[in-house]
Amino acid sequence: MSIQSDIAKIGQSPEFIVAMAHMWFACSVLLILAHWGLTLWICAPLCVAIAAAKEFYWDLHYETLPPQTVMDSATDFAEYMLGIALAILVIAL
């Protein structure tokens, strides 16, 4: 048994699981920082900068299994941005 076979049993693709993980992680971090009283207009750009550095520097240079392409990093970065947008929407409402 492997994780891939377990995921296949529930009918979800690994790409979907990864996308949701990126999105919910970014959303959770921003909501926690906002709950601690940090200003959204400081936290959101900080989260964007950290996500960009992680995806476009760290992953391209140090992640080797599987090797990352710029397109992979751009996709992951977009998923982080969806999470940040979701957190901003939740905070605004």
22-34 pLDDT per residue, tens? 899 999 999 999 8
Long-range contacts of 16-25 (CB under 8 A, 24+ apart): 18/76, 18/79, 19/75, 19/79, 22/76, 22/79, 22/80, 22/83, 23/79, 23/80, 23/82, 23/83, 23/86, 24/83, 25/80, 25/83
Neighbours of 79 (CB within 10 A): 20
Share of the chain above pLDDT 70, in %: 89
How far is residue 33's CA from residue 81's CA, in Å, rounded to a whole number?
16
Query: With contact defined as beta carbons under 8 Å apart, do 23 and 83 qualify?
Result: yes
User: What are the residue ranges spanned by the domains of the chain?
Assistant: 13-92
